[in-house]
């Protein structure tokens, strides 16, 4: 198959599954028949289907489905979506775009009268397929992983994680605003250095994080540039007569070319912001397009705004988000002190060093200033420098390489001198679950839950063991204040825009648990399970049962009170349905506009109740 065909097949799988999970075709049962009952007069070019699989007939379209674990039905991987040709026995294989066109025309839901939302969705769908095809020609260096030092290993795993982006989201790869050349220049999996641009900003126009107490001594170049480059940058500013009055901020080259003049042109015309010629800084993108490695061996990484449209939101970097991130980080550090196990297993990035353009009369919620800012994210140096330690975004464990069956578990098994068989993989998977859920359930007991999808949750692997969890992007910490207060922690008092919904505060502990169920299990751990099942030919049910057993052990052993323990067991194991994040319907409904990634809340089957049918 061509890369375009492979990309379209992958997007189609996620698209059908997501539409089914969100009941896009209505709440009623699907019209399905057993393959054996299909008329021999109308043969379908499906692969041979098993007895439990079905053919779903919707209007003139047929799709092969199989029972799922995290949803009732899912598309059989590797099968086509077929449409019957009018007045003919022939079937046509549909592209994702053609299929979605039929869906929009043939369903009666919230998207029906939203032409703008439909058009934006189709644009993102086409972009996702095109850019996924480009990513199949990746340059991720995955050989001899354990011979790499801490920084090089971390970068390789970031590039690996970028290959899929957010699992199960059909539009995840779409980075709208990047042409093909830009995409290949700036996406992590292509392993190309990015030459940063720099802009000098008058000091009085900067708002800084709590980790910057003296802007004259604490400025981005101090952390991001080696001595010779830092001196070259300072010399240029001195020659312009602005060395004492301005601070230089790094800017992503795409942002510099495409956004700054449109958003902040008047400030450049007045000289309060000045472009610099210096551009000797070369960094590499991580699994997040706007986060960059250091340009030399160090623990200080960079996060920048880039107004690319991804997951239905623009990737800017507003000061208010970084302020809230600082409040969350302080809360996380206080919370960690409450639990001796968290003290040795929960690691945190330092995200308090940041600089944001903030002109007079601007507010924290204005659009233009959020396009010019920078954050220096400090990783724990002791982890990167430890020869026995490796860091990896968990998304890398839930992403298959498109051209091999390699997985980090290969290296892990070899390190532990375990045979490369299903039993050994299960040992490591149990250890991974124990580590991941041990940290998150202990945080939940304190009334907080981090952003635990596979991109932000970083596994700390040390001397062959899953040693802990490193969290980043603290601005997405979710909290339940009554549980914080009962252990002596206080409401961080986040800065929020009045009249706008937020996902930081929650009214019930069950609502906080939502994030572990959705991001932690339905996305992060499910992707790891599916990838391990495919790579090592292990039934997914076996891995899900192991995950459940580890959860049960942790819920019993962690010091929850009886009411909390009963609630967790009920929500995880006993209810018929789990909550799920709705992604596609809210995106279509919002039809563009500012804000974070749109989502709603729906219901889907409880995966642990579904397991009973396979036991």
> Distance between CA 105 and CA 115 in Å, rounded?
11
> Which token pair is 243?
């060395």
The three-state secondary structure class of 67 is strand
Six-digit token string for 246: 């301005």
- The continuous run of DSSP H or E covering 83 comes out as strand 82-84
What are the residue ranges of CATH 3.30.310 in the chain?
A: 3-131
Other Cβ atoms closer than 10 A to 462: 15
Percent of the chain with pLDDT over 90: 84
Give domain 388-614's CATH number out of 1.10.10.10, 3.40.50.10470, 3.20.20.80, 1.10.510.40.
1.10.510.40
Residue with structure tokens 């769908």? 125
DSSP H helices in 248-317: 253-258, 260-269
The pLDDT of 556-572, averaged and rounded, is 98
Task: Decide: helix, strand or coil at residue 239.
Answer: helix
pLDDT of residue 41: 43
Helices 408-416, 526-536: axis angle to 10 degrees equals 70
Sequence-distant (≥ 6) Cβ neighbours of residue 440 within 8 angstroms:
449, 450, 452, 469, 516, 520
- Name the token pair of 197: 């641009």
> Is 3-131 assigned to CATH 3.10.150?
no
Q: In the chain, pLDDT over 70 holds for what percent of residues?
A: 96
Q: Binning pLDDT at 50, 70 and 90, where does residue 36 land?
A: confident
State which H helix or E strand residue 17 sits in.
helix 3-21
Query: CA 358 → CA 65, 310, 369, distances in Å?
Result: 53, 25, 6
Q: What is the pLDDT of residue 90?
A: 75
Residue 580 has pLDDT above 70, yes or no: yes
Kindly report, as residue ranges, where domains of CATH 1.10.510.40 are found in the chain. 388-614
Burial category of 293 from C-beta neighbours within 10 Å (exposed 0-12, middle 13-18, buried 19 and up) = buried
CB 319 within 8 A of CB 358: yes
List of residues 6+ apart from 181 with CB closer than 8 A = none
Joined together, the tokens standing for residue 180 give: 């093909």
Q: Which helix (H) or strand (E) holds 161?
A: helix 150-162
Burial of 139 (0-12, 13-18, 19+ CB in 10 A): exposed
Burial class (CB in 10 A: 0-12, 13-18, 19+), 281: buried
SS3 track for 341-392? HHHHHEEECEEEEEEEECCCCCCCCCCHHHHCEEEEEECCHHHHHCCCEEEE
Q: What is residue 276's three-state secondary structure?
A: coil
Contacts of 572 (CB under 8 A, 6+ apart): 513, 517, 551, 555, 608
Per-residue model confidence (pLDDT) at position 38:
67
Question: Which helix or strand (DSSP H or E) is residue 508 part of?
Answer: none
Query: What is the separation, in whole angstroms, between the first and last Cα of the chain?
Result: 37
Question: Residue 371 has what pLDDT?
Answer: 95
The confidence score (pLDDT) of residue 496 equals 94
Helix axes 422-446 and 408-416, enclosed angle (nearest 10): 100
What's the pLDDT band for 44 if we cut at 50, 70, 90? low
pLDDT digits (tens, 9 = 90+) for 339-356: 999 999 999 999 999 999
Q: Which letter does DSSP use for residue 82 in this model?
A: E
Q: How many Cβ atoms from other residues are within 10 Å of residue 418's Cβ?
A: 16
**pLDDT band at 313; cut points 50, 70, 90:** confident
Over 60: is that where the pLDDT of 40 sits?
A: no
Q: Is 496 exposed, middle or buried (0-12, 13-18, 19+ CB in 10 A)?
A: middle
Residue 554 pLDDT: 98
pTM of the model: 0.96
- Tens digit of pLDDT for each residue in 123-146? 999 999 999 999 999 999 999 999
When comparing pLDDT for 161 and 43, which is higher?
A: 161
- Residue 78, by phi and psi: left (phi above 0), alpha (psi -120 to 50) or beta? left
Is the confidence at residue 174, as pLDDT, over 90?
Answer: yes
d(CA 351, CA 353): 6
Contact 196, 279 (CB under 8 A): yes
* CA atoms of 520 and 422, how far apart (whole Å): 24
Over the chain, what is the mean pLDDT?
Answer: 93
CB 122 within 8 A of CB 129: no
The arithmetic mean of pLDDT across residues 56-79, rounded, is 94
Determine the Cα–Cα distance for residues 582 and 572; give it in Å rounded to an integer.
19
């Amino acid at each position: 198959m061509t890369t375009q065909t492979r990309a379209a097949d992958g997007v189609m799988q996620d698209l059908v599954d997501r539409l089914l999970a969100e009941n896009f075709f209505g709440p009623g049962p699907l019209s399905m028949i057993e393959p054996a009952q299909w008329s021999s007069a109308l043969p379908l070019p499906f692969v041979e289907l098993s007895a439990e699989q079905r053919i779903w007939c919707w209007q003139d379209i047929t799709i092969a489905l199989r029972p799922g674990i995290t949803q009732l039905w899912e598309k059989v991987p590797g099968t086509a979506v077929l449409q019957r040709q009018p007045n003919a026995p022939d079937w046509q294989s549909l592209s994702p775009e053609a299929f979605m066109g039929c869906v929009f025309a043939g369903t009666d839901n919230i998207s029906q009268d939203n032409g703008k939302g439909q058009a934006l969705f189709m644009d993102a769908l086409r972009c996702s397929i095109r850019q996924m095809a480009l990513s199949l020609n990746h340059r991720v260096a995955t050989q001899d992983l354990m011979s790499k030092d801490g920084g090089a290993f971390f970068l390789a795993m970031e590039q690996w994680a970028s290959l899929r982006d957010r699992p199960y989201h059909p539009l995840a790869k779409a980075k709208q605003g990047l042409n093909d050349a830009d995409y290949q220049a700036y996406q992590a999996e292509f392993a190309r250095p990015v030459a940063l641009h720099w802009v000098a900003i008058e000091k009085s126009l900067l708002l800084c994080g709590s980790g910057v107490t003296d802007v004259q001594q604490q400025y981005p170049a101090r952390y991001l540039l080696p001595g010779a480059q830092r001196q070259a940058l300072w010399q240029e500013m001195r020659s312009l007569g602005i060395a004492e009055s301005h601070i230089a901020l790094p800017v992503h080259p795409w942002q510099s070319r495409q956004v700054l003049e449109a958003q902040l042109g008047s400030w450049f015309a007045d000289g309060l912001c000045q472009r610099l010629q210096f551009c000797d800084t070369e960094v590499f993108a991580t699994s997040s397009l706007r986060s960059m490695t250091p340009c030399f061996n160090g623990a200080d990484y960079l996060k920048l705004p880039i107004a690319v449209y991804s997951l239905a939101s623009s990737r800017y970097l507003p000061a208010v988000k970084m302020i809230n991130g600082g409040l969350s980080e302080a809360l996380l550090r206080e919370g960690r002190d409450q639990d001796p196990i968290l003290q040795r297993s929960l690691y945190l990035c330092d995200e308090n060093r940041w600089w944001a353009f903030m002109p007079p009369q601007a507010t924290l919620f204005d659009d233009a200033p959020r396009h010019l800012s920078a954050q220096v994210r400090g990783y724990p140096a002791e982890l990167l420098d430890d020869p026995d330690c490796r860091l990896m975004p968990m998304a890398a464990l839930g992403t298959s390489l498109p051209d091999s069956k390699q997985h980090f578990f290969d290296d892990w098994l070899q390190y532990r001198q375990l045979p490369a068989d299903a039993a050994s993989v299960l040992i490591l998977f149990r250890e991974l679950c124990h580590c991941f859920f041990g940290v998150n359930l202990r945080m939940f007991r304190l009334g907080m839950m981090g952003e635990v999808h596979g991109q932000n949750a970083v596994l700390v692997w040390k001397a062959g063991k899953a040693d802990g969890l490193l969290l980043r992007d603290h601005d997405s910490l979710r909290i339940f204040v009554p549980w914080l207060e009962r252990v002596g922690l206080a409401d961080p008092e986040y800065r929020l825009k009045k009249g706008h919904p937020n996902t930081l505060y929650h009214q019930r502990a069950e609502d906080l648990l939502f994030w572990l169920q959705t991001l932690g299990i339905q996305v992060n751990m499910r992707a790891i399970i599916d990838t391990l099942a495919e790579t090592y030919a292990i039934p997914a049910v076996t891995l899900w049962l192991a995950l459940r057993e580890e959860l049960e052990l942790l819920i019993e052993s962690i010091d929850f009170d009886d009411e909390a323990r009963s609630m967790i067991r009920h929500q995880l194991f006993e209810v018929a349905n789990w909550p799920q994040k709705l992604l596609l319907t809210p995106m279509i409904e919002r039809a563009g506009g500012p804000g974070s990634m749109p989502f709603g809340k729906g219901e889907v089957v409880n995966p642990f109740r579904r397991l009973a049918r396979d036991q």
